[in-house]
Amino acid sequence: MHVTTVGLDADDTLWHNETIFRLTQERFRALMADVAGPEALDARLAAIERRNLTLYGYGVKGFTLSLIETAMELTGGEPPGRIVADILAAGREMLSHPVEPLPGVRQALAELSGTHRLVLITKGDLLHQEQKLAASGLGDLFAAVEIVSEKDAATYERVFARHGTGAAEAAMCGNAMRSDILPALQAGAFAAHIPYPLTWAHEMAETPASHPRFAELAAIAELPGWVRSLG
Amino acid sequence: MHVTTVGLDADDTLWHNETIFRLTQERFRALMADVAGPEALDARLAAIERRNLTLYGYGVKGFTLSLIETAMELTGGEPPGRIVADILAAGREMLSHPVEPLPGVRQALAELSGTHRLVLITKGDLLHQEQKLAASGLGDLFAAVEIVSEKDAATYERVFARHGTGAAEAAMCGNAMRSDILPALQAGAFAAHIPYPLTWAHEMAETPASHPRFAELAAIAELPGWVRSLG
């Protein structure tokens, strides 16, 4: 078996993302402190995000709309204007937030890109993901970029067929068990999980510890060595 | 010269889109009638959309956020809750609007797909465009789908290289002179303009009437014949 292609998740694998959502959510809690306690607020927001997921998908713009909707519901439909204004401002700030690669990312990718085709595979707003990749300065290390609306086994089959030599000769790396690891294994690829301290509740899943093609890595610095070990 | 690949724009080429934005804008005018006249409202919305374009890109979610921002600005930062609620509802309705191919689309594409590789090339929200293609029932006629954040000459070069035999052997078809026609010609492709009755102000541009690879078609029914005439 010869691994030719390495897929990499972007958000929370190459750069911070969930942290920025959490910071915005904390700002939202402060903003709504007179209206609802943090737990009631978080629960309502989570329910509204879930309800909107099939329409809005993943990304900042849908999150911003869900924040406004949450403020509407919890204020009897009459949120103070400053709350709406602050939510809109928070959304814009998330979209223009500076992007800095996580520690060890640049070095690991530079090392791997000499021997393997690197493919960025990420969900989210198309424009925003392209802007983040450009801002990260990592763009030149990737042979291809695929921004997808869903990460399931069919997605990995298609992407590794298009940009590599098929899923069987590919390895996927990411922080989200449910969208980066399990469907990639199902597609027949290798998969390495690199946990991020914060993981979105929707992404929690069991670890496939006994799967022969699975590895748990402590940091992305371990990725090049693991990929080499696959042959 | 042998044309192997035909690129097709989606919104307002294969199905209505601008009409749905215009209807929402009319609904917004009615909603804001006590606050601002239609001309002042449209001008303010257009300015806010332009200001947000680099952050929000194209699509319904960014449009919804711009509507809310317009309502904020024109009400001194305190829009009545029912206005915000109605804007959120309008956005959700746009995202779940039924998609029906424009007259002649299915037949033209079915005819062309027997002899040419069809590639859908469209801007907008990734998830929403995929959902519209699925809802249209046209998905099986396309060999590939590219949802892009910008349509410039480099985009067409890249897409026709990836999914065809290069731009020189491709023809692009769409309603927007500025994003479908001019950059495709610049990339070296053929291009056919099929006007849609409503065209977004951002997309207006001169007709390249004398360009040897340009054609103006009255309806998509003329597309298969024109493509065949290219050899």
Residue-wise pLDDT tens digits, A133-143: 999 999 999 99
Same domain, B46 and B137: no
Q: Which segments of chain A does DSSP mark as H helices, in order?
A: 18-31, 38-56, 60-74, 81-95, 105-113, 126-136, 153-163, 182-186, 223-229
Q: Determine, for residues A55 and B148 on separate chains, whether the beta-carbon distance falls below 8 Å.
A: no
Final residue of a structural domain among B77, B95, B113: B95
Same domain, B134 and B80: no
Cα–Cα distances in Å, from A177 out to A63, A205, B47?
A: 22, 6, 43
Residue whose tokens read 């897409």 = B159
Same domain, A118 and A171: yes
Same domain, A167 and A72: no
Provide the whole-model pTM.
0.90
Same domain, B115 and B168: yes
Query: In chain A, how many domains are there?
Result: 2
Residue whose tokens read 């990737």 = A142
Same domain, B71 and B58: yes
Write out pLDDT tens, residues A82-127.
999 999 999 999 999 999 999 999 999 999 999 999 999 999 889 9
Residue ranges of chain B whose pLDDT lies below 70: 1, 198-205
Q: Determine, for residues A95 and B125 on separate chains, whether the beta-carbon distance falls below 8 Å.
A: no
DSSP state of A15: B
Same domain, A10 and A23: no
What does the pLDDT read at residue A58? 87
Final residue of a structural domain among A95, A129, A155: A95
Query: What is d(CA B52, CA A128) in angstroms, rounded to the nearest whole number?
Result: 13
Residue ranges of chain A whose pLDDT lies below 70: 1, 198-205
Q: Residue A144: which H helix or E strand, with range?
A: strand A144-148
Same domain, A106 and A88: no
Same domain, A11 and A22: no
What does the pLDDT read at residue B207? 81
Would you give the distance in Å from CA B51 to the centre of its chain? 20
Same domain, B142 and B186: yes
CATH number at residue A35: 1.10.150.240
CATH number at residue B223: 3.40.50.1000
Residue whose tokens read 């509507």 = B67
Q: Determine, for residues B68 and A84 on separate chains, whether the beta-carbon distance falls below 8 Å.
A: yes
Q: Mutating which of B126, B131, B162 best tests the A interface, going by the most A Cβ atoms within 10 A? A: B126
Same domain, B77 and B113: no
Contacts of A66 in chain B (CB under 8 A): none
What does the pLDDT read at residue A62? 97
Nearest CA-CA distance, residue B129 and chain A, Å: 10
* ipTM of this complex: 0.88
Q: Which residues of B21-31 are buried (b: 16+ CB within 10 A; e: fewer)?
A: beebbebbbeb
Contacts 24+ apart (CB under 8 A), B32-38: B32/B71, B32/B74, B32/B83, B35/B71, B35/B74, B35/B75, B36/B74
Which tokens hold the place of B229? 């005439």
Structural domain containing residue B209: 5-15+100-229
Cα–Cα distances in Å, from A116 out to A163, A189, A193, B22, B180?
A: 11, 15, 18, 48, 35
Residue B35 sits at the vertex; the CA angle it makes with B31 and B40, to the nearest 5 degrees, is 95
Final residue of a structural domain among A95, A116, A150: A95
Nearest CA-CA distance, residue B225 and chain A, Å: 32
Same domain, A110 and A174: yes
Nearest CA-CA distance, residue A229 and chain B, Å: 32
